[in-house]
Structure formats: C-alpha cells, structure tokens
Amino acid sequence: MDVPILYEDNHLLVVQKPVNIPVQGDNSGDKDLLTYLKEDIKYRYQKPGNVYLGLVHRLDRPVGGAIVFAKTSKAASRLSDQVRRNAMGRTYYAVVHGKPKQPSNRLVDYLYKNRQKNIVSIVSKNHKEAKKAVLDYTVIASKDGLSLVSVQLQTGRPHQIRVQLAGMGTPIWGDQKYGQQYSQVGQQIALWAQSLTLEHPVKKTILTLESPLPTTYPWDIW
C-alpha cells in the first residue's frame, strides 16, 4: 500500500488516503488504512507492543486524499472536538456532470441513511431520522459537459457531498451509487479530499495540509 505522508510529528499523522481502501475494518475483510498505518509506525519506529493511532474522521472507501490521525489520546480528544465544533476545515474537489445553476452556493438538506442498504437519501426535515447536512460549493471551471467544483463541508454526514451534489442535478463523475445513470462500471469516483486546516492539538498553531489532485481523467481536463 502506497500511502504518502503529508505531515507527521509526535502528535499527528496526516496522510494521503489511497482510493478504494477502507479507513477502518469493514465486512469486506480487506486491509484497512488504520491497521496499515499502525503496522507502519511500529516498523518505522521499532515500537514494542501495540501502537496507538486514533481515528478522528473518515473518508468514504472510494474517496482518496488528506486524512488526519492522532498519535496520542490527548491529540485524539482535541482533534475530535474540532470536528464536533466544525472547527476543522475540510475542502474537497469534485468533478460533476453538468454545471450548477449558481456559480457558488450553500446547500442545506436533510439526509436519512438506510443502514441495511448503505444508501443515503434526501428527506423532509420532519423525517424522524433526518440529519441536517450543510455544504458550500464553488464552481472552479466547466468544460466538455463537466464541472470542477470546490466543496467545503459544514457538517460531516455519511455520503453527504455525493448525495447533495446529486440532489441538485449534478452527480459526481464515476459515482456508482448516486449517479448510476451517468456512470459506467469500473469508473473511479472523481471526489478528492484536497486539504485539511486544523489547530495543532498541542502547539496550537494552524496547519493546512494539501493533497495533490489525481492526474488521471477526468481531473486532467483542467
């Protein structure tokens, strides 16, 4: 597993998650990123016993890009608090079909997750299991029937970006789940965690870590 390290010190580990790798163990039984990184730390630093690595936030399995882990329980607690307070900036890039009607906008929807089918739907806010989902997007460029969009999450709901962008009529290129009518089997979803901005849990400095966008189609249009 090739996992580029974007930043590391005694408290944090920020890496570029490979696509199609689960962040943590799931029913597939495939090797997950968290387990791999623990093994890597143990090997690189010759650590005896178990290695602590705290999961702070997640990325969907097909999505790649920047993700942060905590190397101490104190860092895990403080970073998790940043996520809870929406104080951790998370910017994603997506290639979508079509062109959003507004060049930039805030999307506010209510989402329901069917856990048995692992599918998220937009529902009425009166739905008993509805969770409010908010994101801001900006269209960066459009070409060949596709648009490159920057997305900033204001909430962290499962499949949120994929569902909300599809909900406004511009599904993400290659999304087999929420853009089936546009996608072909085998296409890699064009959604990428481009950057993270966070307060260092100990030093209190502001860190912005960027993960370079893929160079394959459809990213290479721009």
Residues with active-site annotation: 60
Region of 65 please: left (phi>0), alpha (psi -120 to 50) or beta. left
Strand 191-199 and strand 64-70: the pairing is parallel
Residue 95: its H or E element: strand 89-97
On whether the CB atoms of residues 162 and 131 are closer than 8 A, the answer is no
Report d(CA 213, CA 204) in Å as an integer. 28
On whether the CB atoms of residues 219 and 147 are closer than 8 A, the answer is no
Sequence letter at residue 10: N
